Structure 1
Amino acid sequence: MNKLKILNDPIYGFITIPNSLIFDLIQHKYFQRLRRITQMGMSYLVYPGAHHTRFHHAIGCVHLMQQVVNVLRFKGVTISEEEENALYVAILLHDIGHGPFSHAMEHSIVNNVSHEEISLFFMERLNKEFNGTLTLSIKIFKGEYHRNFLCQLISGQLDMDRADYLKRDSFYTGVAEGNINSERLITMLNVIDGELVVEEKGIYSVEKFIVARRLMYWQVYLHKTGLAAEQLLIRVLKRAKELHDMGRKLYASEPLMYFLDNKISIDNFGDKTLEVFSRLDDYDIISAMKHWQKDEDFVLSNLSEMIINRNLLSIKVKKKKIKPENLKRHIENLVEEYGITEEEAKYFVFKGSISNQAYQLNHKQINILYKSGKIVDIVKASDQLNLKALSKPVTKYYICFPKENLRLSH
Structure 2
Amino acid sequence: MASQNKLKILNDPIYGFITIPSKQIFDIIEHPYFQRLRRISQMGLSYLVYPGAHHTRFHHALGCVHLMQKAVRLLRYKGVEISNEEAEALEVAILLHDIGHGPFSHAMEHSIVENVEHEEISLLFMQQLNEVFNQSLTLAISIFTGNYPRKFMHQLITSQLDMDRLDYLKRDSFYTGTTEGNINSDRLITMLNVVNDELVIESKAIYSVEKFLVARRLMYWQVYLHKTGIVAEQLLIRVLKRAKELVSEGIECKASKALQFFLTNKITKDNFDTEVLKTFSKLDDYDIILAMKEWIDHDDFVLSHLSRMIINRDLLKVKLKKKKPSEEKIEKHLNAVKTTYNLSSKEAEYFVFTGEISNLAYTREKDNINILHKNGKISDVIKVSDQLNLKALTKTVTKYYICYPKTKD
Q: TM over 0.5, yes or no?
A: yes
Partner of 1:293: 296
Letter in structure 1 aligned against 2:18:
I
1:208 paired to 2:197: no
**Aligned-partner residue type, residue 260 of structure 2:** M
User: Which residue is 1:363 aligned to?
Assistant: 366
**Residue of structure 2 aligned with 1:325, choices 323, 328, 336:** 328
Q: Does 1:91 align with 2:94?
A: yes
* Cα distance in 1 between the residues matched to 2:284 and 2:203: 44
What secondary structure does 1:61 align onto? helix
How many angstroms apart in 1 are the aligned matches of 2:158 and 2:264?
Answer: 34
Distance 2:282 2:389 in 1: 45
* Matching residue within 279, 282, 307 for 2:282: 279
Instruction: Output the CA distance in 2 between the equivalents of 1:71 and 1:224.
Output: 40
Give the drift of 1:338. Answer: 1.4
Question: In structure 2, what is the equivalent of residue 312 of structure 1?
Answer: 315
Q: Aligned partners of 2:7 and 2:75: how far apart in 1?
A: 23
Letter in 2 for 1:133: S
2:237 is the counterpart of 1:234: yes
Correspondence for 2:198:
195
Secondary structure in structure 2 of the residue aligned to 1:41: coil
Are 1:16 and 2:23 matched, yes or no? no
1:133-169 CA distance string (max 9 Å, x none): 0001101111111100000000000000000000000
Identify the residue that residue 393 of structure 1 maps to in structure 2: 396
- Aligned pairs for 1:112-127 within 5 A: 112-127=115-130
The residue identity in structure 1 corresponding to 2:5 is: N
How far apart, in 1, do the equivalents of 2:263 and 2:252 lie? 11
The one-letter code matched in structure 1 to 2:391 is: K
Q: CA deviation at 1:62?
A: 0.1
| Secondary structure class of the residue paired with 2:219 | helix
Equivalence for 1:27: 30
| Cα distance in 1 for residues equivalent to 2:318 and 2:146 | 39
Give me the whole-angstrom Cα distance separating, in 2, the residues matched to 1:195 and 1:340: 58
Distance in 2, matches of 1:317 and 1:286, equals 28
Count, aligned residues: 406
Matched, 1:166 2:164: no
Over the matched positions of the two proteins, sequence identity in percent amounts to: 69
Q: What's the TM-score, normalizing by structure 1?
A: 0.98
The one of 36, 39, 47 aligned to 2:39: 36
Which residue is 1:137 aligned to? 140
1:225 aligns with 2:228: yes
Superposed, 1:62-101 pairs within 5 Å as 62-101=65-104
Match for residue 252 of structure 1 among 252, 255, 266: 255
Alpha-carbon separation, structure 2, partners of 1:105 and 1:152: 27
Query: Which residue does 1:55 correspond to in 2?
Result: 58
Q: Does residue 111 in structure 1 map to residue 114 in structure 2?
A: yes
Q: Quick one: distance in 2 between partners of 1:94 and 1:265?
A: 21
SS at match of 1:397: strand
AA paired with 1:63? Answer: H
Structure 1 segments unaligned to the other structure (5+ residues): none
**Counterpart in 1 of 2:385?**
382
Structure 1 CA distance, aligned partners of 2:321 and 2:146?
38
Counterpart Cα distance in 2 of 1:405 and 1:365: 50
* Counterpart residue type for residue 182 of structure 2: N
Q: Cα distance, 1:187 vs. partner?
A: 0.1
- For 1:326-365, list aligned pairs within 5 A: 326-365=329-368
Q: Secondary structure at the match of 2:293?
A: helix
Query: Shift of residue 300 of structure 1?
Result: 0.2
Give, as a single letter, the amino acid of the residue that structure 1 aligns with 2:152.
F
Q: Aligned-pair distance for 1:218? A: 0.1
Q: State the 1:322 CA deviation.
A: 1.2
1:5 paired with 2:29, answer no
Q: Deviations over 1:216-274 (max 9, x none)?
A: 00000000001000000000000000000000011000000010111100110011100
- Which of 251, 264, 267 is matched with 1:261 structurally? 264
Cα drift, residue 46 of structure 1: 0.2
Q: Where does structure 1 differ by over 6 angstroms across 4 or more consecutive aligned residues? A: none
Per-residue displacement from partner, 1:17-61 (whole Å, max 9, x unpaired)?
000000000000000000000000000000000000000000000
Structure 2 residue runs without a partner (length 5+): none
Letter in 1 for 2:225: L
- Residues 74-130 of structure 1 show CA distances to partners (whole Å, capped at 9, x for unaligned) of 000000111101000000000000000001111012110010000000000000110
CA–CA separation in structure 2 for the residues paired with 1:26 and 1:241: 33
TM-score of the superposed pair, with normalisation by structure 2 = 0.99
